């Protein structure tokens, strides 16, 4: 004579099965997607695989900002950018890194090489409001970041990385020159244009509006033709400023159409 399973046992098994499916999903993997939490912040690396003591001071830190499928920042010495894709399960893949080709201190260059290698091995990530971790396909930590608080517009010495050359293109600052800008709380703007010192006035309004006076006073020193042309283009670009934005330690000046006029990093 066959024995029937108790009704309660059958129902209990069904509930357990449904619970298992609900937790694991049909594919058996996580469907979390926190990719939006990657964006809107600047991140500074505090741990990098292969680096014993990570450099975090201004000008030597490795940083990242994720936006619209591109990650960009400082590798420690050079500026870089790479494409990235993020998907369900908090998966991430970073493409080949493109960077400037400046030289720097040995420890910073070594950190940069390790950082570029690490981000390109990323397979998954964990993110919160204050921290981001990139991990490889075995769950090993590649890079840990913390949120990089925005630098202040005033009281910061900004060093230009690129300027609008007047031909519709953003051009890197010549390797043998330095261009700076300091925005005073009194509305003054002054710095080094590459060869000569300059000064003018600026005003800000709203959240991101800026105007810079076209009357720019500068010293009258002469220099190599290349640097004099760079200086002239930089000073000509400044009065076209309509908006500014600060992303971590980067400052951007843009015209009314949104075209970039100058890119700086906080020193």
Q: How confident is the model at residue 101 (pLDDT cuts 50, 70, 90)?
A: confident
Q: What is the pLDDT of residues 7-33, one digit of tens each?
A: 434 444 444 343 433 433 443 456 788
CA separation for the pair 122, 95 (Å, rounded): 10
- For β-strands 91-94 and 79-87, DSSP reports them as antiparallel
Q: Which residues pair with 143 in a beta bridge?
A: 48, 134
Residue labelled with tokens 């080949």? 96
Of 253, 168, 251, residue with least CA distance to 209: 253
Of 251, 176, 202, residue with least CA distance to 260: 251
Domains and CATH numbers, the chain: 35-147 (2.40.128.270), 157-266 (2.40.128.270)
* Average pLDDT estimate for 65-77: 92
φ/ψ of 19, rounded to 5, equals: -65, -40
**What is the end-to-end Cα distance of the chain in Å, rounded?**
87
φ/ψ of 85, rounded to 5, equals: -130, 140
Please report, for residues 5, 11, 12, 197, the alpha-carbon distance to residue 8 in angstroms, rounded to integers and kept in the order given. 8, 5, 6, 86
Q: Is 50 exceeded by the pLDDT of residue 102?
A: yes
pLDDT, greater one: 114 or 17: 114
């Amino acid at each position: 004579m066959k024995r029937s399973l108790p009704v309660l046992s059958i129902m209990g098994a069904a509930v357990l099965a449904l619970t298992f499916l609900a937790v694991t999903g049909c594919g058996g993997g996580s469907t979390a997607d926190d990719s939006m939490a990657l964006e809107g912040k600047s991140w500074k690396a505090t741990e990098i695989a292969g680096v014993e003591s990570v450099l975090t001071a201004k000008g030597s830190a490795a940083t990242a900002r994720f936006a619209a499928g591109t990650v960009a920042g400082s590798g420690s010495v050079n500026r870089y950018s790479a494409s990235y894709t993020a998907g369900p399960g908090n998966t991430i893949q970073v493409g080949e890194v493109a960077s400037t080709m400046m030289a720097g201190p040995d420890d910073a260059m070594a950190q940069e090489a390790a950082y570029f290698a690490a981000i390109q091995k990323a397979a998954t990530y964990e993110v919160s409001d204050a921290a981001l971790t990139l991990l490889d396909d075995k769950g090993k930590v590649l890079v840990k970041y913390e949120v990089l608080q925005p630098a202040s517009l005033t009281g910061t010495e900004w060093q230009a990385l690129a300027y609008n050359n007047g031909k519709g293109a953003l051009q890197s600052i010549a390797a043998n020159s330095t261009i700076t800008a300091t925005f005073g709380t009194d509305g003054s703007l002054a710095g080094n244009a590459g060869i000569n010192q300059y000064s003018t006035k600026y005003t800000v309004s709203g959240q991101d509006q800026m105007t810079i006076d076209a009357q720019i006073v500068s010293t009258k020193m002469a220099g190599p033709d290349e640097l004099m042309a760079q200086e002239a283009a930089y000073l000509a670009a400044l009065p076209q400023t309509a908006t500014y934005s600060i992303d971590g330690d980067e400052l951007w000046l843009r015209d009314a159409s949104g075209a970039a006029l100058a890119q700086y990093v906080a020193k």
